[in-house]
Amino acid sequence: MINDHDRILDLACGPGNVSRYIRLRRNVSITGYDLADSMLEIAKRNVPDGTFLKRSIVDFEEGSKFDWIINAFGFPFLDRGQRLKCIECCSRALKTGGHLYLSFMDGDREGYEKTCFTGDKEIYFIYHDKKEVLCELKKNRFETIDEWELDFYEGNGKFLKDVVFILRKTA
């Protein structure tokens, strides 16, 4: 669904893996936001023609509008209030008819966890209720184009349910 010449904002871009994947397949303009200087440096190496900035995904204003916003890894680090602010910012930053890719872990718990990608280090994760998120998205003029759930096995006997939405901003 991403077209050449689209303007893309990658929220919580980390090392730019998603941006790099898209940029290798499409001639697009990439902007990424993250709060970790080390991740931004890696993202700049992974997508040399991208723009990567130290900015919050919860409180940002954009003068220019994007065709796509990708939020693949941001929600697990946001509480409910921050989640709503992020959705509101996304609605303001997207063109009418623009798209939002959003993924998060479905549930109602939070706390420190070890994961397959953190080794022995624990990270604080926040799960989000799919129905609540969908309601907030609708209130902010997003309609669902596609959605799916992925069972993710952590290797420690835990299964997580990842929710993925592709949404369109309506008028």
- Write down the mean pLDDT value for the chain: 92
Residue 163, pLDDT > 70, answer: yes
- Pick the range with the lowest mean pLDDT from 19-33, 80-94, 154-168: 154-168
Give the CATH H-level superfamily of domain 7-169: Vaccinia Virus protein VP39 (3.40.50.150)
Is there a contact between 104 and 165 (Cβ–Cβ < 8 Å)? Answer: no
Per-residue pLDDT tens over the stretch 83-116: 999 999 999 999 999 999 999 999 988 888 776 6
Domain ranges of the chain: 7-169
Task: Count Cβ atoms within 10 A of the Cβ of residue 131 and give its class: 0-12 exposed, 13-18 middle, 19 or more buried.
Answer: exposed
Q: Once rounded to an integer, what is the mean pLDDT over residues 152-156? A: 68
